[in-house]
Amino acid sequence: MSCRAIALVFCVLLTSQSVCAQSVRIGVFGLFRPHQLEVRSTPGAAIVVRAGDSTFVLEPGSNRDVARIRVSSGAIILEIGERVVPASEILATSRSGGAVGFVLAIPNKISRRYVGALRVRVISGVLIPVVTMDMETAVASTVQAESFPGAPLEALKAQAVAARSYFTAGKGRHRNFDFCDTTHCQFLRDPPSVKSLALEATRATRGLVLAYHDHPFAAMFTRSCGGRLRTPEELGMPTRGYPYFAVVCDYCRRNPIRWTRKIPRQDAAGLKADSELSRLAIDRRLGWDAVPSNNFTIHIEGQDAILEGTGKGHGIGLCQRGASAMAEAGADFREILSHYYPNATIVTIHPH
């Protein structure tokens, strides 16, 4: 199915409206700090590219099916066919100025498919691509990217509500867009196929978010809690909107993911099991799986520190592994959310 068809299907199936009204701005490829980008058209999709006063149409099968964007002397240069145009920003949309399917790539590094409107600016010599997409497309893409392969539908529904809650209430961590596509916010990759469970889960929970005292909150979730959920206070993190609770997760308690890591002794000196910031600092230096969770013990062997622990992630909020086990045992998504977010309610938000 073409990206244009996928864009139409997402709008119709997810919103039941002719226009996808509620949108989020996702900053993509930020980890790569790109200096070059390519925007490609796909079968059935015409992309209108605007650079200042110049307008181009990318169409598959023509000599103008790719736009190349690069930084030169702190400015953006757009190349389409034989045309070379300087610009302060680049816009890529459908003919009507809305969402369109396209492929965005950093040459020889990464390529992803998106459905939305693309804006590219340059800040401090780096290209900043931002994709504006409707909320439900973002939720479905996040559910697909964040969930375990083979996760049951009810667990995916719970994930969809948590993801939508984050998109609804979690803005403000970035200056130039609403959210990034990394674990700093939520993973976001290609939109799922129209037959995927991720899309089905998103459709089934459309508009549903978690709220505390009638206010939606940016719901946190984790891969595997190790048997007991943490609270932000336990990890030296601020609490915003929802207090969280030290919920027992029966499945992870009986079947914990165990791990062992070896890191340099000097790196372990500032590592504390009650500080998420110290864990993230180690992960930034040594790799994002250097210290998988905050449930660990340390013992020293010469110049090395040996860490033995359980779980994956910060251990706050919805436990994805436990949610899958609850779903397999017959729980529906509301029961799952009630277990992992005590005293929260599920409310409906409306597009605006």
Summarize pLDDT for 17-60 with one digit per residue, the tens. 333 458 999 999 999 999 999 999 888 889 999 999 999 999 88
- CA distance linking residue 292 with residue 309, whole number of Å: 8
Average pLDDT of the chain?
91
The residue to which tokens 């622990």 are assigned: 309
| pTM of structure | 0.89
Nearest CA to 94 out of 128, 134, 152 is that of: 134
**Residue at 182: amino acid letter:** T
- Look up the CATH architecture of domain 3-134: Sandwich (2.60)
pLDDT of residue 10: 45
Query: Strand 215-216 and strand 208-212: pairing?
Result: antiparallel
The residue to which tokens 């400015």 are assigned: 75
Range among 40-54, 271-285, 323-337 rated most confident: 323-337
Residue 135's contacts (CB-CB under 8 Å, 6 or more residues apart) are 20, 22, 23, 24, 164, 167, 168, 351
Angle at 144 between CA 141 and CA 148, to 5 degrees: 155
Nearest CA to 351 out of 20, 6, 22 is that of: 22
Provide mean pLDDT across the span 138-149. 95
Q: How confident is the model at residue 178 (pLDDT cuts 50, 70, 90)?
A: very high
Return the bridge partners of 127, or none: 122
Helix (H) or strand (E) holding 25: strand 23-27
- Phi, psi (degrees; rounded to nearest 5) at 202: -65, -45
pLDDT of residue 350: 76
Where do the structural domains in the chain lie, given as residue ranges? 3-134
Q: How confident is the model at residue 2 (pLDDT cuts 50, 70, 90)?
A: very low
